[in-house]
Amino acid sequence: MNKSFSLTDWIRPNIQELTSYTSARDQYGQDQGILLDANELGLGPAIPSTDAGQSVSTRTLHRYPDPYQRELRTAIAKLRGVHADQVFTGNGSDEAIDLIIRLFCEPAKHRILCTPPTYGMYKVSARIHDIAVDQAPLNPDFSLHPKAIIDAIGPDTRVLFLCSPNNPTGTMANESDLRYLCEHAGCLVVIDEAYIDFAQAESMSKSLEEFPNLIVLQTLSKSFGLAGIRLGIALASKDIIGYFDKIKAPYNINSLSAQVALSALQQPEIMHAKVQEILLERAYVTERLELLKKILNAGPISLGAIIPSQANFVLFQIDQALRIQQALAEQKVIVRYRGNELHCENSLRLSIGSREENNSFFEALITVLGYQGPAYKNMMEQLNLQPKNSSLAQQDTAENTNTAQGTNAAQPTNTAQNTATAQPTNAAQVPRKATVRRHTNETKIDISLNLDGTGVHHIKTGLRFFDHMLEQIARHGLIDLDVQCQGDLHIDEHHTIEDVGIALGQALSQAYGDKRGIDRYGFVLPMDESRATVALDLSGRPYLVFNASFDRVYVGDIPTDMIEHFFYSLATHMQATLHIDVLGANDHHKVEACFKGLARALKQAIEHNPRISGQVPSSKGSL
């Protein structure tokens, strides 16, 4: 038991002295007589009497709701095995997170501690209130590192936020680790249990009496399926809940949300039945991801770790995750890219849906990976999925069907012959798009591009001639390109030009992926009296040869000594061999010839060649 915790030492002094707002319903409730105290519309709500929303009562919508939602909190307390005065109801868990920071943290003075990868609102809410955020990362296996967490807690740390089951990983923290942190953290410990009903573990709310510094967050959005009513829950000591009520908005839960929530809480068996169905579907999805992993890992795109989940989603790694997520979206299947989170490189987060929705995900994934005809049918059968009457599933001509039967392609085996039969045959249908966000202390850069575009561009770097040169890459490469950069131009141009080269190179590399089916090489180009010979090889081996001399120190607002440096940064991060030789009399023309030449060479190199569709353009078999 954490006996040393005294709440008055942690609540902000101004809040301890605060006189809270007293609403009309504080003194007398809804059923105390003729209500003429709150300036409500006494004639009833101004809605049609035949309004379709009669599944919940609309008779009393002209009255303010109970500010403390006593009936609703009592139902939650019964379900969770706590006292009603230990329950707070808020506008989603986000309201509770916000109130915690407002209660315990003074702006520009105190700090919170998070354990990434984790739910992003802890950090966002802290930053809104000018509270510093420290981090004690999870281990690579997504387990807590209790000693590192304790070591990261400083004298100004007020709140430790933990998420279990964790979002985005679905992993559950060990109860012994959570208890250790409640005992030794020396600050408020908030355990976010949004997904607890899907886990094979008990809620830490059972330990509220033991740990007065513990706050448990829950929600009706997940297991109850009521995300639309925005009903969040905080479970804590009576004293902490009293402070929540002191500073919350007077009527933070609307009457309709409260009625729906109460209806659900009064029949929790419906929730439990739906949770069991989701758990079965989670096992179904995980099993098929494992099967797909065995099949794909003999080919150009492979699945990595599939994280065991205690939530209603599964996190898994797959090559070119961002590009695949974007391609799935074009198939009207939306999953979440989580590759920008710590330890989650190339990861997608898949929410568990109905059987039909889960099958639709696998069908769309097989499609965007380039499987057609007998290969598509073979993959569907290996995953034990029933294909829809889609055009891809119906592409089996009699000749294709005979071919599939002749090679035994439909048999769910892992032989080399079968794997080869199932290789994707049309990689060109995967959209070649990329988005890169590179924010440093020197530059803030956001780039998105589409290699199969028409040259549409929106470019702003703060350097007008540099913008003009990047436009040449878009126009002459037929690449849709959006480049937004805020750099430290008050120092000089170096970081802006260098970092745009890095980010653009990363985006290009991400977009063309494994280079399957492309021409790989490009060559070009004259420009008036100048000539730039640009030779490009998307080889995967970064190298730059740049032969040029300039008479001017600047062309426009670009230092000419940064031209080579830009192309070096670009070639390095797009993993390409790039040779540029420039001759001419006019430095403006020479620089422009370099950029136009690169654009034309790049357009040629990334073109899909139908004669080598699905093949890596290398005798080695990989680039």
Domain boundary among 245, 266, 287: 266
Q: The pTM is what?
A: 0.64
Q: Could you give the CA distance from residue 500 to residue 477 in angstroms, rounded to a whole number?
A: 17
Residue 414 has pLDDT above 60, yes or no: no
Domain annotation covers residue 15: no
Q: Could you give phi then psi for residue 409, rounded to 5 degrees?
A: -65, -25
Residue 393 — very low, low, confident or very high, per pLDDT cuts 50/70/90?
very low
230 Rama class: left (phi>0) / alpha (psi -120 to 50) / beta: left
Indicate whether 181 and 317 sit together in one domain: no
Who wins on pLDDT, 153 or 530?
153
469 Cβ neighbours under 8 A, 6+ residues apart: 558, 591, 592, 595
Which residue would you say has higher pLDDT here, 323 or 391?
Answer: 323
Alpha helices in 483-560 (DSSP H): 494-512
CATH number at residue 106: 3.40.640.10
- Residue 38 pLDDT: 66
Alpha carbon distance 422, 405 (integer Å): 13
Mean pLDDT of the chain: 86
The pLDDT tens digits for 430-487 are: 668 888 889 888 999 999 999 988 898 999 999 999 999 999 999 999 999 999 999 9
In a domain, residue 210? The reply is yes
Q: Which residue carries 């890596």 as its tokens? A: 616
Say yes or no to pLDDT of 376 above 90.
no
Residue scoring higher pLDDT (45 or 385): 385
Question: Is the pLDDT at 416 greater than 60, yes or no?
Answer: no
What pLDDT was estimated at residue 605? 87
Identify whether the C-beta of residue 579 lies closer than 8 Å to the C-beta of residue 506.
no
pLDDT at residue 430 in the model: 60
Per-residue model confidence as pLDDT tens digits over 499-522: 999 999 999 988 887 666 677 676
Listed ranges 19-23, 371-375, 513-517; the one with the highest mean pLDDT? 371-375
Residues 6+ apart with CB under 8 A from 277: none
**Structural domains of the chain, count:** 3
Q: Does the pLDDT of residue 24 top 70, yes or no?
A: no
Co-location of 400 and 450 in the same domain: no
Is residue 62 domain-resident? Answer: no
CATH assignment of the domain containing 530: 3.30.230.40
- Residue 207 confidence class, pLDDT cut points 50, 70, 90: very high
Domain-embedded: residue 41: no
Single out the residue in 266, 300, 315 at which a domain terminates.
266
> Is-contact 327 348, C-beta < 8 A?
no
615 in a structural domain: no
Same domain, 408 and 473: no
State whether 234 and 286 are in the same domain.
no
Residue whose pair of structure tokens reads 């105190």 in the numeric block? 110
The CA distance from 469 to 202, in Å, is: 60
Residue with the two structure tokens 């990868």: 117
Work out the number of other CB atoms within 10 angstroms of the CB of residue 431. 18
Q: Assess whether pLDDT exceeds 80 at residue 604.
A: yes
Distance, in Å, from the CA atom of 597 to the CA atom of 359, rounded to the nearest integer, reads 46
**What are the tens digits of pLDDT across the range 250-270?**
999 999 999 999 999 999 999
Domain membership of residue 392 as a residue range: 274-427
Picking from 238, 266, 294, the residue at the C-terminal end of a domain is: 266
Residues 405 and 278 in one domain: yes
611 CB-side CA count, 13 A: 2
Tokens of 203: 């809620």
What is d(CA 39, CA 32) in angstroms, rounded to the nearest whole number? Answer: 16
Joined tokens for residue 86: 């230990």
